[in-house]
Amino acid sequence: MTENTAEAWPEPPLAGTEAEAILGALERQRATLAWKCSGLDASGLQATVGASTITLGGLLKHLAHVEDSHFARLWLASAAGPPWDTVDWESTPDWDYRSAAEDTPERLLALWQESVARSRAIVDKALGAGGLDQLGAYTTRSGERPNLRRILLDLIEEYARHAGHADLIRESVDGLTGEDPPR
């Protein structure tokens, strides 16, 4: 994985627009995950802490799935593509976490980076066509549709929840701690 330096570390603008602040916060969360997973071999990406079975590799694959499924399902009202479209999620709801042990570190990183790139492209196109209040194509049973703001905020929340897992796991692997890359 690419190491992030303090100079390149994504920071939301202090006084930007709402869209800039939301996207900046999301990019900071993505960078945090990338940094916590950087430089590890398969063993490091498969390490666990305590009773938990969550691994850094599992987090990469899970968040790749979250990136793809949030925008496919909520924004486009379509199914996520490969490899997610071949999974029996009913019988294996934690497939992304479990199957990560079968993937190389390079494959996990590529899967996550490709998912992030697809998400960025969808968001760029959506923002080019309007603002955060635009409604996604997905409709709930009660007739509601999520706006782009809600989808992005849910994605930030998902990353933030898992950043704590990544902190603990990475510290157990090699002692790396902290919230920011070394300066």
Q: How sure is the predictor about 65, in pLDDT bands with cuts at 50, 70 and 90?
A: very high
Question: What pLDDT is recorded for position 182?
Answer: 52
Provide mean pLDDT across the span 4-21. Answer: 80
Question: What pLDDT is recorded for position 2?
Answer: 42
Average pLDDT, rounded, for the chain: 91
Indicate if the pLDDT at residue 181 is higher than 80. Answer: no
Q: Are 83 and 37 in contact (CB under 8 A)?
A: no
Separation between Cα atoms, residue 83 and residue 62, nearest integer Å: 12
Contacts (Cβ under 8 Å, ≥6 apart) of 58: 96, 97, 98, 100, 101
3-state secondary structure of 91: coil
CA angle 149/166/25 to nearest 5° reads 25
Separation between Cα atoms, residue 55 and residue 162, nearest integer Å: 11
Provide mean pLDDT across the span 143-150. Answer: 97
Report CA-CA distances (Å) from 120 to 38, 44, 59, 158, 161. 21, 28, 19, 16, 21
Contacts (Cβ under 8 Å, ≥6 apart) of 155: 26, 66, 67, 70, 119
Q: Are 166 and 33 in contact (CB under 8 A)?
A: yes
Indicate if the pLDDT at residue 4 is higher than 80. Answer: no
Provide mean pLDDT across the span 92-117. Answer: 96
3-state secondary structure of 147: strand
DSSP element (H, E) containing 54? none
What stretches of the chain show up as alpha helix (H) in DSSP? 18-37, 42-45, 56-69, 95-99, 105-129, 148-174
Contacts (Cβ under 8 Å, ≥6 apart) of 49: 168, 169, 172
Provide mean pLDDT across the span 98-118. Answer: 97
3-state secondary structure of 135: strand
Indicate if the pLDDT at residue 7 is higher than 60. Answer: no
28-64: pLDDT as tens digits: 999 999 999 999 999 999 999 989 999 999 999 999 9
Separation between Cα atoms, residue 110 and residue 127, nearest integer Å: 25
Provide mean pLDDT across the span 122-148. Answer: 96
